[in-house]
Amino acid sequence: MKGRKLKKNILELLNSDDLQESLDEICQLPARQAVNPLFSFFYSTNELIRWRAITAMGAVVSGLADQDMESARVVMRRLIWNLNDESGGIGWGSPEAMGEIMARHFRLAEEYAFLLESYVNEQGNYIEHPILQRGVLWGLGRLAHSRPGLVNHAPPFLLPFMRSQDAIHRGLAVWTAGVLDRELTKPLLQYLSNDNAIIKIFIDMQFLEVTVGQLAREAISKL
């Protein structure tokens, strides 16, 4: 299937009512051919298409890694490059896709989890763009919910985001902190349990509208 036709086909699948069935169909396509159209949809102005493309990238690359680990690493390196200042771009969708891929594939997570964690570490590869930070926090949270042991150094790096003026920063940091060691984050989780700011978050392949306080109370309930 040629590029333009493939891209149209994938877009139709991402628009489908049955996302899981669509993911299964996308994963039947040649993985290395499917990657480029999925990258392009990271920049979609349709929020649902963008998030479904991120989910599909996770499914495709984790499947690719089972067959050809080096080809999967090439995709991971491309995502990392997109977040590099030298790339000349902003890297929309890249940290989310990294988190989604690693949540689905343990070996890739073993190799790259430290890097995603470093994007919230001011002494590491800290990403300063406030909107891109949301993507990093979501990717870190997605990975933490699946493989918390691989990002167990993250809690101290989450504290500044839990104090952020940006409600999405606060909510995503709380969502992530809730599945990690909460010794450091517990006081802020308790404080934020009364935070009534509403955020929209993509969880389990669907959008949810929740308050930061709801997320904080859920995290506290796991103590």
% of the chain with per-residue pLDDT over 70:
97
Residue 45 vs residues 20, 50, 145, 169: alpha-carbon distances, Å: 22, 7, 27, 21
Give the residue extent of every domain in the chain: 1-133, 154-223
CA–CA separation, 203 and 146 (whole Å): 12
pLDDT tens digits, one per residue of 28-37:
999 999 999 9
Instruction: Please state the φ and ψ torsions of residue 201, each to the nearest 5 degrees.
Output: -130, 140
pLDDT of residue 3: 78
Residues 52-91: b if buried by 16+ CB within 10 A, e if exposed: bbbbbbbbbbbbbbeeeeeebbebbeebbebbeeeeeeeb
* Cβ count within 10 A of residue 115: 17
For the chain, helix (H) and strand (E) counts, in that order, are 12, 2
pLDDT value, residue 222: 83
SS3 130: helix
Which residues are CB-neighbours of 103 under 8 A, at least 6 positions away?
58, 109, 142, 143, 145, 146, 147
Q: Which residues of the chain have pLDDT under 70?
A: 1-2, 86-88
User: Per-residue pLDDT tens for 64-111?
Assistant: 999 999 999 999 999 999 998 765 678 999 999 999 999 999 999 999
